[in-house]
Each structure stands twice: as structure tokens, then as C-alpha cells.
Amino acid sequence: MTVTVKVLVPSKLLEPVPTIQYSCLTKAAIIDKCVVMNVSDFATITVDIVIDNLDDPVAFTGGLFLQKLLQPLESYTCPEIAGFALGYQDRIITGTLGSGSCSMRITGREIS
């Protein structure tokens, strides 16, 4: 068994529609840290994070669900998903609601 520390989701601005950010297609993975930040200095924004399986539609249904309201310029480290193990064909889906912008970065370990 090989364990590789890596950035699962590089720093990026999140889309307002449900979007797949990471998929375990050939390996398992463990989430070590997930940080989201409202980069807007004027608006609150809601961030949705779902961990589900490839067999489910790309939407905010089923699986592990986290919804967090962020104030302007607020950063949040998501302890709810730290240590979560992703199995074969599991994926991370995100989306936002609000007029601002939100960034995200997830680090973890891939296991093969």
C-alpha cells in the first residue's frame, strides 16, 4: 500500500452550481484539511460541500452534507470533513449561494 500526501483540490474559486471538485476513480483518499474563505468584502455567502458516490446525480442530495454561511472575508476550516475517508468512486461536490466569491483548498492523502 502506498500513501501519497497531496492537494486534492487546489486553491480555486467555487462555482455557484453543483460542481465535482475531486473524484476517487482509481484510489482511496483521506481528507486532512479543508479550508473555505469568503473572498468578498461586502457579501455573505453560503458554501455547500457534499461527499457522495459516482452513482448519484451531481446535486446536493445524499452523502455527507455540509452547509456553512460565511461572513465577508471569513475563513473556515471544516472540521466536519477532516479525517473523512473517500472510497472508490466517491467524490467531492461544491457550490455556493450568494453574490460574493468563495475560495477553497483541500489537502489529504491518496492511498493506492
Over the stretch 72-101, which tens digit does the pLDDT of each residue have? 999 999 999 999 999 988 999 999 998 889
Domains of the chain, CATH where assigned: 3-111 (2.60.120)
CA distance 59 to 74: 25
Question: Where are the extended beta strands (E) located within the chain?
Answer: 3-13, 19-23, 28-38, 45-53, 64-70, 75-77, 85-86, 90-98, 102-111
pLDDT top residue among 58 and 40:
40
Query: Over 80: is that where the pLDDT of 57 sits?
Result: no
Location of C-alpha cell 475560495: 103
Q: Is the model's pLDDT at 59 over the cut of 80?
A: no
Confidence of residue 39 (pLDDT cuts 50, 70, 90): very high
